[in-house]
Amino acid sequence: MEIGIDSFAAIFPDPVTGKLPSATDRMAGLLEEVEIADRVGLDVFGIGEHHRAEFLDSAPAIILAAAAARTGHIRLTSAVTVLSAADPVRVFQEFATLDLISKGRAEIVVGRGSFGEAFPLFGLDTRAYDELFAEKLDLFLKLGETTNITWHGRYRPALRGEGVFPRPHQPRLPLWVGVGGTPESFVRAGTLGLPLMVAIIGGSFERFRPLVDLYREAGIRAGHPPENLVVGVHAMGFVGETDAEARDSFFPGWAHLTGTIGRERRWPAPTRHQFDDMASPEGAFLIGDPKTVAAKMLKVSETLGGVSRITFQMSTAALDTAAMKRSIELLGAEVAPILRAAYETP
């Protein structure tokens, strides 16, 4: 199982003073986090894409390129690229360039996006939410097959043999489809035979098993080998020296962000009791000491019928930068060896 981190480059006000930290300092801290992840041997680091005041990740390919220049081994991916609201040609060029800079370590996770702010920002109609994604995913896949492409669609001007450059270092850019809880999204990824990255940020892992089964069944029906139907999980996660320390470090930022988004969506205010339920053995948060987190990761894989990658969304701990850096170290130095030992062939 591959282990990684996804960051949204979150920037939160100080809980005591109410002041925001410097965006420049937060970006520097984020790049340091990627360096630490590389140093401790984690497999992948992802940067999200949002267009909101709480996050600094509106241009993930640029952040990843800066990270590529500072690292040597870790794979670098988006988490996720809102392909519906972007030009697939430009996205392909950006990530092909990232692949050249990183010498073949670039990946991309594409999705429709859980926030809708990108659509009006770039002049797109949210009523075409799904159609935009389906068409742009089709174009992006074709860009990986040929340099000079002929293509036409409804939402983007046609291409009539123009060349798309540069080409990536890898023969093909690894592409995952990021999904939430929409059955049609799981079926689409399976039908195309593409790796699946499931965002599970609440509830329980068990409730996603029927959806993962849908993905695998759709892939087999479409003629794809079962071994190609790879499943990854993106989850809230954090590692501390103790379970209590991990929860206490993660909770303030989680409560702030969940409360902010919840007010927009008219959710009830988040509570510590709700958080502790999610961090319990039955909940969907991978939060605790190294042994607690490793055991829960193994349970996630068993529950979903086999998971190839788990990435931790720990940006909400940005209020405690020292604890977040230590969490990355513990994930690589103590959690990863437990997982690797569990997957070793006797």
Query: What domains are defined for the chain?
Result: 2-343 (3.20.20.30)
Tell me phi and psi for residue 237, to 5 degrees: -155, 150
DSSP conformation class of 53:
T
Question: pLDDT at position 317, please?
Answer: 75
What distance in Å separates the CA atoms of residue 56 and residue 268, rounded to the nearest whole number?
A: 26
One pLDDT digit (tens) per residue for the chain, 346 residues: 999 999 999 998 876 788 888 999 999 999 999 999 999 999 999 999 999 999 999 999 999 999 999 999 999 999 999 999 999 999 999 999 999 999 999 999 999 987 889 999 999 998 899 999 999 999 999 999 999 999 999 999 999 999 999 999 999 999 999 999 999 999 999 999 999 999 999 999 999 999 999 999 999 999 999 999 999 999 999 999 999 999 999 999 899 889 988 898 888 999 999 999 999 999 999 999 999 999 999 999 999 999 999 999 998 777 788 899 999 999 999 999 999 999 885 5
The H-or-E segment that residue 330 falls in is helix 321-330
Q: Which residue has the tokens 């690894």?
A: 174
Residues in the chain: 346
What distance in Å separates the CA atoms of residue 139 and residue 45, rounded to the nearest whole number?
A: 26
- Inter-residue contact 321 to 29 (CB < 8 Å): yes
In 4-15, which positions are buried (b, 16+ CB within 10 angstroms) versus exposed (e)?
Answer: bbbbbbbbbeee
DSSP-assigned letters across all residues of 229-296: --EEEEEEEEE-SSHHHHHHHHHHHHHHHHHHHHHHHTPPPP-HHHHHHHTSTTSS-EEESHHHHHHH
Question: pLDDT at position 345, please?
Answer: 57
